[in-house]
Amino acid sequence: MMKVVALAGGVGGARLVDGLAQCLPPEDLTVIVNTGDDFEHLGLHISPDLDTVCYTLGGIANPPTGWGRAHESWRMLESLAELGGPTWFRIGDRDLATHLERTRRLCSGEALSKITQEFCCAWGVLPLVLPASDQPVPTWVSTDQGEMHFQEYFVKRQCQPRVQGFRFAGVEAAEPAPGVLSALLSCDLVVICPSNPWVSIAPILAVPGIRAAVAAKPTLAVSPLIAGKAVKGPAAKMYREFGQPASALSVASHYGDLLAGFVLDRLDARLAPEVEAMGIRPLVVNTLMKTRASRRRLAREILDFAERFVLTGN
């Protein structure tokens, strides 16, 4: 069996991770998760992408949104509104426990990676889920309305500002979390999930040591853009605002020389020859993941493709 490391950010990434977890024994899957979305809110440390991946793998994620927990209630938020507190970032009552307990443990000096392991045990998540780094690397977005933290851009302002650049504060001094480099060194394949290349995957690759470790392994990426649109989130808008076509080809070249394989949706089949001309092996399949079965199907197709081409180097 193949040992796989998946790089994942928000909802799209979590869905493919769920598919991979349905195809691989838990000991053969490690997920390295973006922490650039992490921020302090209501005095709590919130790690949205870690929670989205863990909730999804634990089967307790809220299906319609992909973030937060299923079967939620909103009593805290209602009471917070009565007090005039900030309710733009919607925290449900079950989800609140995660942020309270993570904050309590971080304040006691526990590392984010260790807290994540213990939460995974509590939620019955078997694959290894690791933050890219235990040090904070918050994503700051430069826009035509000034610089703001990613969550203000993404949630509070609904991605309206025009992006001009990103900064992962402190990333130069950050280290890969314990287990990240050893997972990359011992894996057979790296899968870059269909997350936003700018703000979900780039912050992971920016942590010193991670990009080089990925570059040393057969790597494939799944396009988060289908027919010029993001399945979810601002990725297509970001490419346009940087003057690039909102195309799967922009994603393939975004990852530069990291890729041996690239997964395109059928609607972008005509782009396969151009991907091949970049020296990257294309796979054209239905990449939409509306159900758990479709997540498993896509993951199976990707792993079969990797075994046929990416791992054999032809």
Contact with ligand FO1 (CB under 6 A) among 91, 130, 280, 299: 91
Strand ranges for 67-145 from DSSP E: 128-131, 139-143
Q: Rounded to the nearest 5°, which phi and psi values hold at 207?
A: -70, 120
Q: How far is the CB of 196 from ligand FO1 (least distance, A)?
A: 8
Q: How far apart are CA 217 and CA 27, in angstroms?
A: 18
- Is 29 in contact with 128 (CB distance < 8 Å)? yes
Q: How far is the CB of 277 from ligand FO1 (least distance, A)?
A: 32
Q: Which is nearer to ligand FO1, 11 or 246 (CB)?
A: 11
Residue 51 binds ligand FO1 (CB under 6 A): yes
Residue 136 binds ligand FO1 (CB under 6 A): no
Residue of 295, 299, 271 whose CA lies nearest to 284: 271
What is the residue whose two structure tokens read 């999930």?
Answer: 193
For ligand FO1, how many residues bind (rule: CB under 6 A)? 17
Q: How far apart are CA 136 and CA 172, in angstroms?
A: 11
Residue 255 binds ligand FO1 (CB under 6 A): no
238-254 burial, b at 16+ Cβ within 10 Å, e below that, comes to bbebeeeebbbbbbbbb
Q: Which is nearer to ligand FO1, 49 or 134 (CB)?
A: 49
Q: Which is nearer to ligand FO1, 9 or 176 (CB)?
A: 9
Residue of 230, 231, 284, 223 whose CA lies nearest to 249: 223
Residue 151 binds ligand FO1 (CB under 6 A): yes
Contacts with ligand FO1, 19-38, as mask; x by CB under 6 A: ------------------x-
Q: How far is the CB of 282 from ligand FO1 (least distance, A)?
A: 27
C-alpha of 31 from chain center: 9
- Is 94 in contact with 74 (CB distance < 8 Å)? no
Residue 89 binds ligand FO1 (CB under 6 A): yes
Token pair of 296, please? 């498993």
Q: Which is nearer to ligand FO1, 155 or 267 (CB)?
A: 155
Token pair of 46, please? 């919130």
Token pair of 132, please? 């890219």
Name the segment binding ligand FO1 (CB under 6 A); options: 46-54, 110-118, 239-247, 295-303. 46-54
Q: Which is nearer to ligand FO1, 94 or 240 (CB)?
A: 94
Q: Rounded to the nearest 5°, which phi and psi values hold at 133?
A: -145, 150
Torsion sign across C-alpha atoms 286, 289, 293, 299: positive
Q: How far apart are CA 241 and CA 161, in angstroms?
A: 10
Please give the residue whose beta carbon sits closest to ligand FO1 in the complex: 10
Residue 264 binds ligand FO1 (CB under 6 A): no
Residue 268 binds ligand FO1 (CB under 6 A): no
Residue 155 binds ligand FO1 (CB under 6 A): yes
DSSP structure class, residue 173 = G
Name the segment binding ligand FO1 (CB under 6 A); options: 24-32, 85-93, 127-135, 181-189. 85-93
Residue 48 binds ligand FO1 (CB under 6 A): yes
Name the segment binding ligand FO1 (CB under 6 A); options: 9-17, 219-227, 250-258, 261-269. 9-17
Q: Which is nearer to ligand FO1, 115 or 283 (CB)?
A: 115
Binding site for ligand FO1 (CB under 6 A): 9-11, 37, 48-49, 51-52, 67-68, 89-91, 95, 151, 154-155
